[in-house]
Amino acid sequence: MKKGLIFSFALLLLLSSCNNKKNTPPEQDTDVTHAQDVMFANSFVADLACIVLQSNNGGVYMPTYSKFSGTLATTDVSININTSTGITNIDFNKVVCADGIYRSGKIKVSASPVNTLSMPKFPGYTGTVEVQPGFVVKNYSVNTVGNFIVKNITPNGFNPSQTKMQWEISGELNFIDTSASVTNKNMTWKGKFIMTMANSTNTLLNSTPGGFFDFYLPAYSPTMSAFPTPTNGILLQFTGSANGKVKTSMNYTFTTRSGSSIEKDFNKTPNYSLAFRRHPFVAGKAELKIEGKPIRYIDLGEGNPDETGYVQINGLSYSFDFTY
C-alpha cells in the first residue's frame, strides 16, 4: 500500500512538473536591431533618389550631399554632367557631407531620354543608377545589383499647381557592415517605393527659370546665434515595400502601412549647428516581417526629427534609434 502511495505521489509530481513547463510563457521578443538595419537601408534608398534629383538639378553642387565646413564647397564632391550622353558621374572623395554623413566612392546616373528635358523634374525621365563597388556610407560598403531605377511617373501635361510630382524607385542593393565588432555583416534590399513630393504644388519650390527644385534653405554659417527657420524645403513621402535579408541572414519584408507613408522633410533637422542639412525620416508607420519572428509594427513618429521611434512586438512597444 505504501509503495502504491509513493508511486502515485511521484507520478503526480512528474505530471505537475510537465504542466508547469508547458504553461511557462515564452520569453518576450524585444529585439529592435532588425528594424534599425532595415531603416538604415531605407534611408540609403531615399538619399540615393535625392542624390539623383540634386545632381541633375542644374547646379554645380548638391546642397545636401556636398561638403559643408562653414560654406558649401565642391572640392571633395565632384559632379560631371555630360549632356550629350546623359551620363552624370558623382565622386565623393572621403567626405563628411552637409547632412553629417560620411561618404566615399562613385555613383553613375544614366539619364533617358537624352535631350534638354533629361532632368528628374520632367515626366518620363528615367535615371539608371549605379552605386559602384567600393562605395562607402558611414560604416557600410554598398553597391547596386543590376539596374536601380529612379523614374518620374508624373503624368505628361500635368498642372504643377494641382498635381503632386511622383517618382518610382526600384532596384536591388547589397550592404556590408565594415565594423570590426560586427560578426554578421551582410544585408540586402530589393524593392519598389513611390516617392511623392507632397508640396511640389508650392510655386516657391519652382522659382528658378527652367524649373529646378528649391532644395536650398536659408543661408547659414556657424557664427550665427540661431538657425533661421526653414519654410521652403521639400517634403517627400515614400510608400511601397522591400524585402531581402537582415544581417542575421533571416528573410524580411518591409511594407508601409495602408494610408501611411514614411516622410523625409527638408524643413527639419535634428541638430542645425552640427549638420544643418541633415533631413531624416520624421514620420510614418510600417510593418516589418522577419522570418520566424513576430511582426514588428514600426512607428517613426509624427514629425519630430529626433530619429527615434517605436517598434511594437506582441502588443508591447519599445523605443528604437533609427539614426542613419
Read off the C-alpha cell for 154: 508624373
**Within-domain flag for 19:** no
Please give the pLDDT value at position 225.
46
Q: Examine residue 16 and state whether it is found in any structural domain, yes or no.
A: no
Long-range contacts of 289-295 (CB under 8 A, 24+ apart): 289/252, 289/253, 289/254, 289/255, 290/34, 290/246, 290/250, 290/251, 290/252, 291/250, 291/251, 291/252, 292/250, 293/29, 293/31, 293/34, 293/250, 294/29
Q: Is residue 46 part of a domain?
A: yes
Instruction: Please report whether residue 83 resides in a domain.
Output: yes
| Residues facing 81 on adjacent strands | 88
For residue 122, what is the DSSP state? Answer: S
Q: Is 11 domain-assigned?
A: no
Full residue range of the structural domain in which residue 101 is found: 31-321
Predicted confidence pLDDT, tens digits, the chain (324 residues): 444 444 444 444 444 555 544 555 567 899 999 999 999 999 999 999 999 888 776 555 577 787 755 444 446 888 888 888 889 999 999 988 888 899 999 999 999 988 755 688 888 999 999 999 999 999 999 999 999 999 999 998 888 778 888 999 999 999 999 987 888 899 999 999 999 988 877 655 554 434 445 454 444 444 444 445 556 678 899 999 999 999 989 999 999 999 999 999 887 888 766 666 778 899 999 999 999 999 999 999 998 888 999 999 999 999 999 987
Say if CB 55 and CB 88 are below 8 A apart.
yes
How much is the pLDDT for 24?
54
The answer as to whether 283 is a domain residue is yes
Nearest to 102 by CA among 92, 112, 110: 92
Amino acid 271: pLDDT: 73
Three-state SS across 10-63?
HHHHHHHHHHHHHHCCCCCCCCCHHHHHHHHHHHHHHHHHHHHHHHCCCCCCCC
Domain assignment of residue 285, yes or no: yes
What DSSP assignment string belongs to 216-282?
PPPP--TT-SSPPPP----EEEEEEEEEEE-TTS-EEEEEEPTT--EEEETT--S-TTT-TT---EE
Cell of 126: 528615367
Spacing of C-alpha 150 from chain mean position? 14
- What's the structural domain count of the chain? 1
CA distance 31 to 203: 45
- Asked if the structure places residue 212 within a domain, the reply is yes
Please name the helix (run of DSSP H) or strand (run of DSSP E) that holds residue 317, with its range, or none: strand 316-321
Asked if 95 and 67 touch (Cβ cutoff 8 Å), the reply is yes
Residues 281, 267 contacting (CB under 8 angstroms): no
